[in-house]
Every structure is written in C-alpha cells, then in structure tokens.
Amino acid sequence: MHVPAVDFSAYTPQQAAEEQRQLACRAVLCPLPHPPATVAGLDVGIRDGIACAAVVVLSYPDLRAVAWSVARAPVSFPYIPGLLAYREIPVALAALRQLDIAPDVLVCDGQGIAHPRRMGIATHLGILLDHPTVGCAKSRLWGTHAPVGEARGEWQPLDDHGETIGAALRTRAGVKPVYVSPGHRADLDSAVRLVLACAPRYRLPEPTRLAHLLAAVGEAEFLAWVKRKEMKRG
C-alpha cells in the first residue's frame, strides 16, 4: 500500500470543499475482498492543537492485534464541520506509513460517503491510498433513517433524498447504533457485514475501538494490554 504525503495547510475552506466535490466521482463502490486476512482500525483525536492518529491491525476473523502505530502532529486546518478530514488525514497518513503490514481493509472512525459531498475521511483516505476503506462513525453526520430494531444486526438505510448513503447499524441489543458507510472499493452490504463481524462484544468494532484505546493509553500500556489478552486466550 503506497502512502502519499499531503499538506493541506494552505487550503482555504472553499478550496477544500471544491476538492471534495472533484474527488467524490473517483470513489468506487464494490464488494470488499472476502474474506480479508487483516482489518485495521484508524482513530484520530485532537487535543490542545495536536492531532494523534492511532492504527491497529487485527487478524480476521479472530480479531487479534498483529501490528499498530501512533503518530502525532500539530493541526494545520481549522475546525469546520464536513471538512474534518483535512485536519485528520495528514497525521493519519503518518501513522499508516509506519505500519509493517498493509491491512486488507481500513475501518475509519468517521464517515465514508455518508457526507454532504460524499467525501468523509474514509472515502478521502481510500482514494488517496487506492485501498478498501469503510467508515464507521459514532454519530450521524448526514441523511435520515427509520427507527432501527433493537436486536443486534438490525439496520436501516441512511437516506439522502432517495439515495442510500449508509446504514444505521445496531451492533449490540438495546445500544445506540453506529453509522456505517462505504469509503472506497467497498459497498454498503459488505461494509455492514464487516463492521458487525468486528463487533462481537462492544458497540464499536474492535479495530477502531482498539485504535482509540491505543491513542488514549500509549504504546507501552497498549502492548501490555495485548499481552494480557493473549495470555487469557491461552
């Protein structure tokens, strides 16, 4: 997987939005490779002007952590809803560049095409990397949906004026749904199946849940956690 370098620091919000509109036509919607051997999760957080990106690669379907990386960098783009990818992508690429393993699929904590210009971070990264990506967000950015059944695995299409752009998916019974959408080289059905398979116990799929954990506790503590988990598995 070739990981390019980007610099958005000189972009105006208008230039960024126009670039999103131009790139959106390059997104490819097709089934994910099945079954993937590895699935990675990406989480980016920003605090005090510093962005921290964490990536965790899991074997599939047993969901064991096999590789991970962390990168940090100052934020160079303002906070503007719909343009958050321009704050997060540079540091996300830096973390991905450090990986020794190229995951088969990248699941991003954010949107794919469920975006007003169909260019959430999962789609944008997928196009830059030319790699299969899926968006799995904790909250809805765009579109509407009918009530989701309470059982695990229930989902409803996320609609934008008659176009299905994602799904509200119940990964745990009685727990708020997550919002899944294709990024690039993925389609909705395979994205929903993958996210559900990667969320056997918690609301969030393991790849992004563990990426968030890595960003929160640091590499040394995360490695200790992985070792303890492996010992419990035997």
Would residue 29 count as lying in a domain? no
Would residue 17 count as lying in a domain? no
DSSP assignment of 27-92 equals: ----PPPSS-SEEEEEEEEEETTEEEEEEEEEETTT--EEEEEEEEEE--S---TT-THHHHHHHH
pTM of the model: 0.95
Would residue 207 count as lying in a domain? yes
Would residue 86 count as lying in a domain? yes
Would residue 203 count as lying in a domain? yes
Integer-rounded Cα radius of gyration of the chain: 17
Domain count, the chain: 1
Q: Which amino acid is at 212?
A: H
C-alpha to C-alpha distance for 188 and 105, rounded to whole angstroms:
14
Q: pLDDT tens digits for the chain (234 residues)?
A: 899 999 999 999 999 999 999 999 999 999 998 889 999 999 999 999 999 999 999 999 999 999 999 999 999 999 999 999 999 999 999 999 999 999 999 999 999 999 999 999 999 999 999 999 999 999 999 999 999 999 999 999 999 999 999 999 999 999 999 999 999 999 999 999 999 999 999 999 999 999 999 988 888 888 888 888 776 775
Would residue 70 count as lying in a domain? yes
CATH code for position 163? 3.30.2170.10
Would residue 22 count as lying in a domain? no
| Domain region containing 54 | 34-233
Q: How many CB atoms lie within 10 A of CB 129?
A: 21
